[in-house]
Amino acid sequence: MLLAVDIGNTQTTAGLFEDGQMRVRWAVTTRAADTPDELHQTLFTQLALSGLELACIDDAVIASVVPALTSTWAQVAERVSGQRPVVVGPGVKSGLPMRYDNPAEVGADRVADAVAAVALYGAPVVVVDLGTATNIEVIDETGSFRGGIIAPGLRSGADSLFKRGALLSQVGLSMPDHVIGTNTADAMRSGIMLGEVARIDGLVQRIFDELGYKAPVIASGGLGRYLMGASTTITAFEPDLTLEGLRIIYQKNRGARRGAKA
């Protein structure tokens, strides 16, 4: 089976693919100081919880925005599979034409999101990835990566509010019933959750205006499901978009030559 690993600033998400289908998925807190032995144990534990063993991993593909962990995860993947993983970056084929000023600046997770969105929905398409940052990726009608937007993430903004507001207690990130909060907790939820929705919808509309046409808007990331119902622009939610993109990139680079059943 193919191990796909998306190393984010806050969470590391991984999945096992077999014959194009995800068999297992899990997410753990990203810790930049983790050693290969610690990650090896984490991988062993997560597989064991699903009744699987390390020997089921034939190959791996990795996307990382945490440089300290890129080589560490690569070591673990090679240890369990017996071969060097595909690490998404310069020189790795994605099949995605780039119109970015410096393509090397585009994070591996952003590339994977765009590749999966085009495969699932065609072009043009817009991706809204809700993680540590809120990334909006624009793939134009030619299927090219046009560029995008990087903004502070929903949870990052909320944490900043909780830390800097001495009289503001932490609240759960759930969608409020009304925009006008009649107590402090609901007022904060409105500002955090509906404020994020308004920001996304406003930015997406500006993207449409600049492109001169509209496109499907795909939300990804754990918080996407909470925003869909309130958004006027988000049309679908794909929680595993990045992992699916990694699977596709693996196939473009190694799938035809290696035995992993991706």
- Contact indicator for 16, 243 with CB cutoff of 8 Å: no
pLDDT at 259 over 60: no
pLDDT digits (tens, 9 = 90+) for 185-239: 888 888 888 999 999 999 999 999 999 999 999 999 877 777 888 999 999 999 9
pLDDT at residue 164, rounded to an integer: 59
Q: Say whether pLDDT at 165 is over 80.
A: no
Neighbours of 229 (CB within 10 A): 10
How would you classify residue 260: left for phi > 0, otherwise alpha for psi between -120 and 50, otherwise beta?
A: beta
pLDDT tens-digit series, residues 139-159: 999 999 999 999 988 877 677
3-state class (DSSP) for residue 155: helix
Catalytic residue positions, numbered: 109
- What is the distance between the alpha carbons of residues 164 and 255, in angstroms, rounded to a whole number? 49
Q: Which distant-in-sequence residues (6+ apart) come within 8 Å of 59 by Cβ?
A: 2, 3, 81, 83, 85, 86, 250, 254, 258, 259, 260, 262
What pTM was estimated for this model as a whole? 0.90
Condensed to tens digits (0 to 9), the pLDDT of residues 45-87 reads 999 999 999 999 999 999 999 999 999 999 999 999 999 999 9
Helix (H) / strand (E) element for 228: namely helix 224-228
**pLDDT attached to residue 262:** 62
